[in-house]
Amino acid sequence: MTIWTKMKPAFWDHEDVAAGPHKHLFNFRRIWRMSVILTAGVALAPLVFMTLVDYNVSQQAIEADIYYQTARLVSNTRRNITFFLAERRSALSFIDKDNAYSALGNPLRLAALLDNLKKGFGGFTDIGVINQNGLQHTYVGPYELAGVNYSDQEWFKEVVSSGTHISEVFLGFRQQPHLVIAVKHDLGGGSFYILRASIDTQQFNQVLAEVEVGGKGDIFLVNREGVLQTPSRFFSNILQPMALRVPEFSEKTTVLEVNFQKEPLIVGYAYIQDTPFILMAVKKKNELMKDWTETRIKLIGFLAVSITSILLVILWVSTYLVKQIYVADHKRVMTLHQVEYANKMASLGRLSAGVAHEINNPLAIINEKAGLIKDLFTLKRDYSDDPKLMGIVDAIVYSVERCSKITKRLLSFARHVDSKPQLVDIAEVVNEVLGFIVKEAEYRSITIQVEVAPDVPTIESDRGRLQEIFLNLINNSLAAMNASGSLTITIRRTKEGCIRASVADTGCGIPEADLKRIFEPFFSTKTCKGGTGLGLSITYGLIKELGGSIEVHSEVGKGTEFTVQLPVKMKPSEDIDNESAACG
Amino acid sequence: MKVLLVDDERELVSTLAERLNLRGLEAQWATSAEEAMLRLQTESFDIAVLDVKMPKVDGLLLKKQMQEKCPAMKFIFVTGHGSSQDFEAGSSEVGSNYYLVKPLKIDELIAKIKEALQR
């Protein structure tokens, strides 16, 4: 047996075949299903909806906040970098304007200026003056760069055309990463010179290193070809190409989401004006969303637990309620059946009485006429010895007797005489009845046992009916048994205070299909042996009249047990008709 | 032993009377209450066997009328119907022992007649 068959409620497989066109009203499985679906829908839909809305809204809010913070970070850092470069360019420009070309050509003066720049602004490494041919004729700094010609370099050409220049970070002649700021000074008549200073990238990097980037993030500069200008934590070394794609040009600070190695990244960037630099801040989205995700997982876990408990409660409540409806309906159907059965019996009773009466008179005439024939022939010697004649008359009389047995039983079935209650000892009644059949039992070697519990009281009931009940039951048992069977009659008192008498035999038993019908009138399996099919239906009627009930348990081949339950005090028959029997 | 049989079924009552006569009883019969009362005016009987259900005057009423006339008379009721009212009324009048259901056994009837007369 599977768990399902054990747990399955009784109504699950119920099918009301008698419900007719209103079958759907009694489809309990459907009622149960509707109840579960509707209740679950009403209870869970708002819950799930609210959770989804909250999930989306809070996710959007968190993402918006991340975008905003990234944009602010990039924007602020750009301002710092721009200021850093502009400050140094302005300083160089001021020196250029403040000093004559001849003064700048003096290495001592130039060294003093470099010293002031280092002290005043910091970050300057060296300074040099380059003539219009690209030759650095004066140089102050740690490298041997005096006399170097820059005329072929890109930056030189750009300064000549645009007047100022801030270079990318590059290695140059000194093989050290640095950047260069250069300003051009026109001397008139097409001649010019260039004041050029290199900036220590160390200090430049420092500016970015001090920036606090959340979410395991990174902030760095790249040039427009995507080569790293400052060290990056995750995207390769300085002067190496960056692993990410170079973002599109935008005048404003921009934040976008990109996927890098299947990981979503938040990238904020800004093109720094008048420089080759793009400032980029990169953050790992999952890191930033971690707190939110953890909270969501907890909430979803709570939701799952809630849904499970709600569903369990709904299942339990629906099953319980439908079970109650089923039980109530079952009782209703049982009552209907009982009423139907009682009506059927009453109709049959009236019919039986009518039939018996109609048949009895002609039967009586046949009986008397046959009797007379016999009498007449018995008196005349000529015929009294004729066995054939006597046989014929006897056959008529025998048949009349058989018919009369049927009509008498029919009448007995139909009889609804008001009972006269009197004090009766059931054991005594049983023994009286056994008196009639003890000879037959002995002859067939059937053993009879009567067990009476000591606490069985005398009851107020109808003696005649009790006799008939037990006579019918005991006769049935005897008829069901072959030789050497055993008949056991047990009488005891139940907890409810009723008397319970059972008549059990070791006979052939009753097939299950017949068990439901054995109390119906004219239902008989012994018709070939002269049974009328009225015995048990009469017994049933008598027991009901006494306010009791009868049950039968039978196993084919093992035997049958009839159990009669009777109240200690018989109710008047009107009460029995109106309400269910006390011990029924 | 004079017996009066009253039943509206002529065939039944006449045959029954004949059979009783054959067995040495002095039996006469009537098919209605009126006829029975007429007979009582000219003859006297020890016992009457009455059908309960009869048209016009039924067995119970007839018994009362006959009893008024002959208080010593005994009665046996016979019926073809087993309704509760009949049984109640009949057996309360004569006792359930003398309330017989058709068809009758002749020997049983004679035994009951003798028993009633000895009471």
- Please tell me which of the candidates B22, B80, B83 has its beta carbon nearest to residue A364: B80
Probe site for chain A from B7, B12, B23, B29 (most A CB atoms < 10 A): B12
Over residues A113-146, the pLDDT tens digits come to 999 999 988 889 999 999 989 999 999 998 888 8
- Chain B residues near residue A368 by CB distance under 8 angstroms: 11-12, 15-16, 19, 103-104, 106
Beta bridge partners of A170: A178
A66 CB-side CA count, 13 A: 27
Stretch (H or E) spanning A44: helix A28-98
10 Å CB burial of residue A297 (0-12, 13-18, 19+) is exposed
Q: How far is B81 from chain A (nearest CA, A)?
A: 5
Domain enclosing residue B112, as ranges: 2-118
3-state secondary structure of B23: coil
- Please tell me which of the candidates B12, B84, B106 has its beta carbon nearest to residue A416: B84
Closest residue in A to B82 (Cα) is A411
Closest residue in B to A360 (Cα) is B80
Contact A353 B81 (CB under 8 A): yes
Contact A412 B16 (CB under 8 A): no
Identify the pLDDT of residue A511.
85
> Taking Cα atoms as reference points, which of A120, A119, A116, A136 lies closest to residue A128?
A136
Whether B85 shows a pLDDT value over 80: the answer reads no
b or e along A247-268 (b: 16 or more beta carbons within 10 Å of the residue's beta carbon)?
Answer: beeeeebbbeeeeeeeeebbbb
- Chain B residues near residue A418 by CB distance under 8 angstroms: 84, 88
Cα–Cα dist A373/A119, whole Å: 163
> Taking Cα atoms as reference points, which of A103, A254, A271, A289 lies closest to residue A185?
A103
CA of B13: how far to CAs of A183, B10, B102, B113, in Å?
A: 160, 5, 12, 16
- Please tell me which of the candidates A361, A379, A412 has its beta carbon nearest to residue B80: A361
Residue A283: count other Cβ atoms within 10 Å of its Cβ: 24
Contact A368 B19 (CB under 8 A): yes
- Chain B residues near residue A410 by CB distance under 8 angstroms: 82
- Chain A residues near residue B19 by CB distance under 8 angstroms: 368, 371-372, 375
Q: Token pair of A102, please? A: 């001849």
String of DSSP letters for A192-205:
EEEEEEEEEHHHHH
* Complex ipTM: 0.86
- Please tell me which of the candidates B16, B22, B102 has its beta carbon nearest to residue A360: B102
Rg of chain A over all Cα atoms, to the nearest angstrom: 58
Contact B82 A404 (CB under 8 A): no
- Chain B residues near residue A346 by CB distance under 8 angstroms: none
Cα–Cα dist B103/A403, whole Å: 9
Identify the pLDDT of residue A538.
76
Q: What is the model's pTM? A: 0.53
Probe site for chain B from A355, A361, A405 (most B CB atoms < 10 A): A361
Give CA angle at A371 (A366, A374), nearest 5°.
130
Q: How far is A371 from chain B (nearest CA, A)?
A: 8
Contact B81 A356 (CB under 8 A): yes
Cα–Cα dist B89/A417, whole Å: 11
Q: Token pair of A472, please? A: 């019918």
Closest residue in A to B91 (Cα) is A417
Cα–Cα dist A545/A349, whole Å: 14
- Chain A residues near residue B83 by CB distance under 8 angstroms: 353, 414-415
- Chain A residues near residue B109 by CB distance under 8 angstroms: none
Identify the pLDDT of residue A173.
76
Closest residue in A to B14 (Cα) is A368
What is the average per-residue pLDDT within B100-112?
88
Closest residue in A to B83 (Cα) is A415
Q: How far is A32 from chain B (nearest CA, A)?
A: 51
Q: How many separate domains does chain B show?
A: 1
Over residues A379-390, the pLDDT tens digits come to 777 777 788 888
Contact B104 A416 (CB under 8 A): no
Contact A400 B88 (CB under 8 A): no
- Identify the DSSP state of B105: P
Contact A357 B11 (CB under 8 A): no
- Please tell me which of the candidates B12, B23, B83 has its beta carbon nearest to residue A368: B12
Identify the pLDDT of residue A18.
52
- Please tell me which of the candidates B22, B84, B101 has its beta carbon nearest to residue A417: B84
> Taking Cα atoms as reference points, which of A396, A409, A392, A391 lies closest to residue A367?
A396
Chain A residues with CB under 8 Å of a chain B CB are 353, 356-357, 360-361, 363-369, 371-372, 375-376, 379, 400, 404, 408, 410-412, 414-418
Q: What domains appear along chain A, each with residue ranges and CATH number?
A: 26-288 (3.30.450.20), 418-584 (3.30.565.10)
Identify the pLDDT of residue A569.
83
Contact B101 A369 (CB under 8 A): no
Over residues A339-354, the pLDDT tens digits come to 776 676 677 677 777 7
Chain B residues with CB under 8 Å of a chain A CB are 9, 11-12, 15-16, 18-19, 22-23, 80-84, 87-88, 101-104, 106
Q: How far is A480 from chain B (nearest CA, A)?
A: 30
10 Å CB burial of residue A371 (0-12, 13-18, 19+) is buried
Contact A357 B12 (CB under 8 A): no
> Taking Cα atoms as reference points, which of A96, A80, A295, A308 lies closest to residue A186?
A96
Give the residue ranges of chain A where pLDDT is below 50. Answer: 416-418, 527-528, 530, 573-582, 584
Contact B80 A357 (CB under 8 A): yes
- Identify the DSSP state of A433: H
Identify the pLDDT of residue A576.
43
Cα–Cα dist A191/A121, whole Å: 30
- Chain A residues near residue B51 by CB distance under 8 angstroms: none
In contact, B47 and B3? CB cutoff 8 Å: yes
Indicate which CATH number applies to the domain containing B100. Answer: 3.40.50.2300
Contact B84 A411 (CB under 8 A): no
What is the average per-residue pLDDT within B88-96?
70
- Please tell me which of the candidates A372, A408, A418 has its beta carbon nearest to residue B101: A408
Stretch (H or E) spanning A453: none
Closest residue in B to A363 (Cα) is B103
- Chain A residues near residue B11 by CB distance under 8 angstroms: 365, 368-369
Closest residue in B to A352 (Cα) is B82
Q: How far is B83 from chain A (nearest CA, A)?
A: 6
Residues near B49 by beta carbon (within 8 Å), at least 6 away in sequence: B3, B4, B5, B6, B75, B76, B77, B78, B109, B113
- CA A389 vs. chain centroid, Å, equals 87
Q: How far is B97 from chain A (nearest CA, A)?
A: 14
Q: How far is A343 from chain B (nearest CA, A)?
A: 18
